Structure 1
Amino acid sequence: MSSTAQWVRQHRLTSFFVLAYLVSWLPWAFDAAGLSLGTPFFPGGPLVAALVVIAFADGRRGFRELGARLVRWRVGWIWYAVALGLPVLLVLTTGVLMWVLGAPAPDLSAIVWADVALVLAFRMVNPADSALGEEPGFRGYALPHLQDRLSPLAAAGVLGVLTAGWHIPLVALGNLGWIGLPSTVLIAFLYVWLFNRTGGSLLMTMLFHASQGALTFGMLGSTGAYADRAAYVYFGVLVVAVAAVLGLDRASWRRAPESATDAEPEPVAARR
């Protein structure tokens, strides 16, 4: 084994996060220097990082494990409803609260649900989109390794902060309001809860992520200043949702199921 492969194997998580940030942020650096690479931010960095680290550190076993998580679909219909419906419910709840606070009533008749389904499907297969670009790396690869060392609660907090930090260029570019960063930390807890409750199904977290961006505040009629306010209300809705899963399902936060951790733990000597 080469010295590079040995180092990556001993520092899987460090290698993954450094590479995920580097691949996604590099276009931002070039763009700031006036040398455009076609996009100022590449959402597929976590996917690329996971594949590279697996190739160096885990080989076929790692690819088989990631693939198995991706096709883990026998989880019960209720979890499909959660993965697809919870993001929609969060947005609709935000729209209703905005209406209560004085915004125009959500225009549900304006939503073309066929278009929502089409966007969701496209996000599942487009590596330059967040669902396929992020989930195999953040939840499919990093989370099982984090949960091999930490409780699900601690792993969710660490992963939430690191994924929020990864989004910083989007704030600088004006594509994401600053409130999106703490919202990203919070929603990580919902991803971890869904991942663990479905036995480590990457498919469920991808469906959740795709659904999260398929229905937007704009589709409910919240545009301009109302859309900006909606982001803050959405943060409050997330606080309640996360508090609910933490308080009502306490057992799931103590220990992750074996199927949602690294299937082949690293030697103790390698965990530095």
Structure 2
Amino acid sequence: MTVIRRHPLVTFFVLTYVLAWVCLPFGFFGSFAPLVAALIVVPITQGRAGLAELGRRIVRWRVPWWCWVLAIGVPLAVHVLAAVLGDPSPIRFVSWGDVLLVFVVRLIDPTEGGMGEEPGWRGFALPGLQARLSPLAATAVLAVVITVWHLPLVFLEGGDHRSTLAGMIIGTVGVTLWYSWLFDRSGGSVLLCIVAHAVEGAIQDDTVLYFGLWLALAVVLVVVDRKTWLGRAPADATTRLPAVGTPR
């Protein structure tokens, strides 16, 4: 317990890897691992107050209206742009009823991307990293961790491993920067990141072009808002509890 309290972020990352990868021999990837890891580490290191803070982040819906517009509109715009510039099949042949169903499932199912990942990555890890590092440095660390964590999916999905690997690395780095920006701009709303994640995954598009557009968007966000990225994160987007890593 002492080790966990002194190194909550390291513990969280290790648990997230173990819980996700232990499922691989059974043919699936434990995308619920960040949520479960956060629910284990937070009570031990921050008690009830930490759980309450995490819960407030997950249900924080009162954010500027334009944050909602961007959370839903940006992923849709990236999908459409990828279809216009490259392969239109993910948009042309899609059933929008199916898209809506997938969106709802990904929004509430803890075994899917949004609900399974965002409470851990953005709700716990990002505020902890930003308590010590600039938003850009914190996001860079998180991008590396999340990218490596996702790598087994390349081999589970089959196909052209080199193409899939390139797309996953490019796309994961891009969307990690985007989710961090959205999280900070919304005052630390995990709910908004869950919604954005669900929208992004509602239409299947695994082309390198699609992932490249996410990286291009991330570069634009960093260049245009570089002072914020290199400064300190907004108060609501960092932990209000004792700094992560401080023994209690």
Q: Are 1:94 and 1:233, in contact at CA under 8 Å, matched by a contact in 2?
A: yes
CA distance in 1, matches of 2:151, 2:215: 21
2:224 corresponding residue in structure 1: 248
**5+ unaligned residues in a row in structure 2: which ranges?**
none
Q: CA deviation at 1:236?
A: 2.5
2:49 corresponding residue in structure 1: 61
Trace 1:164-243 onto structure 2 (pairs within 5 A): 164-174=147-157, 177-179=164-166, 180-217=168-205, 231-243=207-219
Letter in structure 1 aligned against 2:11: S
Q: CA deviation at 1:186?
A: 2.0
Trace 1:36-51 onto structure 2 (pairs within 5 A): 36=26, 39-51=27-39
Look up the SS of the partner of 1:74 in the other structure.
coil
CA distance in 1, matches of 2:233, 2:179: 13
Q: CA deviation at 1:267?
A: 8.1
Look up the SS of the partner of 1:18 in the other structure.
helix
Q: Can you list the C-alpha shifts for 1:201-250, whole angstroms capped at 9, x where unaligned?
A: 00011011101100223xxxxxxxxx6xxx21123212321121112222
Q: Which moved more, 1:105-114 or 1:187-196?
A: 105-114
Q: Can you list the C-alpha shifts for 1:240-270, whole angstroms capped at 9, x where unaligned?
A: 2112111222233121011111111338864
Letter in structure 2 aligned against 1:261: T
**5+ unaligned residues in a row in structure 1: which ranges?**
218-226
Letter in structure 2 aligned against 1:259: D
1:139 corresponding residue in structure 2: 122
Trace 1:103-122 onto structure 2 (pairs within 5 A): 103=87, 105=88, 108=91, 110-122=93-105
Higher RCO structure, 1 or 2 (CA under 8 Å, sep 6+): 2
1:77 aligns with 2:65: yes
Percent identity, aligned pairs only, is 40
Q: CA deviation at 1:76?
A: 2.0
Letter in structure 1 aligned against 2:22: L
Cα gap change, 1:50/1:106 in structure 2, threshold over 3 Å: closer, same or farther? same
**Alignment RMSD:** 2.0
Letter in structure 1 aligned against 2:200: Q
Aligned length: 242
CA distance in 2, matches of 1:249, 1:65: 27
- Alignment TM-score, normalising by the size of structure 2: 0.91
1:265 aligns with 2:248: no
Q: CA deviation at 1:158?
A: 0.6
CA distance in 1, matches of 2:41, 2:90: 46
- Alignment TM-score, normalising by the size of structure 1: 0.83
2:16 corresponding residue in structure 1: 20
2:6 corresponding residue in structure 1: 10
Q: Are 1:47 and 1:132, in contact at CA under 8 Å, matched by a contact in 2?
A: yes
Q: Can you list the C-alpha shifts for 1:12-42, whole angstroms capped at 9, x where unaligned?
A: 10000000000000011xx1xxxx3xx4311
